[in-house]
Amino acid sequence: MGCFFSRRRKPAQGGQLPLQQQAGAGQDAATGEQKAPQYSWDLRAKIDPKDYTFSGLKNETVGRLPGKVAGQQFVIQDCENCKIYIFDHSATITIDDCVNCRIFLGPIKGSVFFRDCKDCKCVVACQQFRTRDCRKLEVFLCCATQPIIESSTGMKFGCFQYYYPELALQFKDAGLSIFNNTWSNIHDFTPVSGENNWGLLPETAVVQDYVPLPSSEELKAVRVSTDATKSIIPITRGRRQKNSDESCLAVFFAGDYTTANARKLIDEMTSKGFQLVQTKEVLMKAEDAHRVFQQSALEFIPLLEKGPVVALEFNGDGAVEQCQSTINEVFSGTKVFVSESKASASQDVDNFYNFADMQMGM
């Protein structure tokens, strides 16, 4: 077994003293008494758990403004008929024994765990999503990994759609990509034969009808929009049945404008009636490129070193031709992989997303 030994640090060059000595260890000049050393962890602001907890509330509207949670853990428990808004990023969030609440949770770096909750409507963005012993939760979800439900019934899911000015930066602070959202790929840990414990919300579902905008003066200051066209997260069909047997894969490579370019293509294609099925942001290696891009691989391999790629699947009759046309017109100076034909496109989509799912451990 290995051991760690603490070593006394030498003063830094130029006579610089260790932090505890800089911070005031030694004698008090006025009294001559020895002062206790101060360490860097003593100088940090003390965290009060009450600032990161909502507990035992009834019929209240409460929340936290951007910057007020700043990556800490948060706990919500024993709340009833409440509207709760966390307009900031956090480390993890647990929600226990809540009934008939409306909840918005900004980006969560780790997991969100609902336990023993019922009749709640939520908007949630997270790395991991899990429920246990819950009943009738309706969730507009962005989740980077496969959402898991356990001993839960009457669960309904839709695609996260929300905007306020600080939200994009909060996603980055939480280490979440706006393109990695498996909201409809639910794993039921405790399935019951002949029953379905979960389903999808109607395509026409409007977030504001489920989780209304905050009514308190303090929280109104957050300039929220639930307009789907402004959503930070691109709205995808997920596992809903496709309207057409024709899909098209488009892949953008890392650069200064990757996100903006991907969003521009989404806007162009959806405005023409094509549907965005799924998106993904993932790192690729040369061998992955050969598997996914086939004959075109050598053209794109040098671009993979710059960072992750962003892939988009569009669906609709004529999707390949329209996607090629839009990329030629709008992104003429940008290298983009796009399916060559309707015949090859479905294989392109399968090749890429099978690879991406393996990469992300799905």
Question: What one-character-per-residue DSSP string does 81-127 give?
Answer: S-EEEE-S-BS-EEEES-BS-EEEEEEEEEEEEEES-EEEEEEEEEE
All residues at 6 or more sequence positions from 55 whose CB lies less than 8 Å from its CB, including other chains: 75, 76, 77, 78, 79
Percentage of the residues of the chain whose pLDDT score is greater than 90? 78
Q: Which amino acid is at 22?
A: Q
Per the CB < 8 A criterion, the answer to whether 211 and 124 are in contact is no
Does 252 count as an annotated binding residue? no
Strand partners, 103: 84, 122
Per-residue model confidence as pLDDT tens digits over 84-116: 999 999 999 999 999 999 999 999 999 999 999
For the cut 60, the answer to whether the pLDDT of residue 62 exceeds it is: yes
| Confidence (pLDDT) at 18 | 44
Burial string for 15-44 (b: 16+ CB within 10 Å, else e) reads: eeebebeeeebeeeeeeeeeeeeeeeeeee
Task: Show the domains of the chain with their CATH numbers.
Answer: 49-221 (2.160.20.70), 242-361 (3.30.70.141)
For the cut 50, the answer to whether the pLDDT of residue 9 exceeds it is: no
Give dist(CA 96, CA 292) in Å, integer. 43
Give dist(CA 73, CA 53) in Å, integer. 9
333 in helix, strand or coil?
coil
Does 129 count as an annotated binding residue? yes
Q: List phi, psi (to 5°) of 269.
A: -75, -45
Q: What single string gives the DSSP state of each residue in 336-350?
A: EEE-S-HHHHHHHHH
Average pLDDT, the chain: 89
Does 77 count as an annotated binding residue? no
Give dist(CA 50, CA 207) in Å, integer. 29
Does 158 count as an annotated binding residue? no
What value does the mean pLDDT take over residues 264-279?
97
* Helical pair 342-359 and 286-293, crossing angle rounded to 10 deg: 150
Identify each DSSP E strand in 175-224 by its residue range.
187-188, 198-200
| Confidence (pLDDT) at 194 | 87
The tokens for 193 are 């034969």
Per the CB < 8 A criterion, the answer to whether 176 and 217 are in contact is no
Per-residue model confidence as pLDDT tens digits over 155-170: 999 999 999 999 999 9
Q: List phi, psi (to 5°) of 231.
A: -55, 135
| Confidence (pLDDT) at 178 | 97
Give which of 147, 130, 139 is closest to 210, Cα–Cα: 139
Give dist(CA 20, CA 37) in Å, integer. 6
Give which of 120, 139, 119 is closest to 129, Cα–Cα: 139
What value does the mean pLDDT take over residues 211-222?
93
pLDDT band for position 12 (cuts 50, 70, 90): very low
pLDDT band for position 37 (cuts 50, 70, 90): low
Per-residue model confidence as pLDDT tens digits over 113-165: 999 999 999 999 999 999 999 999 999 999 999 999 999 999 999 999 999 99
Give dist(CA 9, CA 51) in Å, integer. 37
Does 111 count as an annotated binding residue? yes
Does 71 count as an annotated binding residue? no
| Confidence (pLDDT) at 256 | 86
Strand partners, 104: 85, 123
Helix and strand numbers (H, E) in the chain are: 10, 18
| Confidence (pLDDT) at 40 | 57
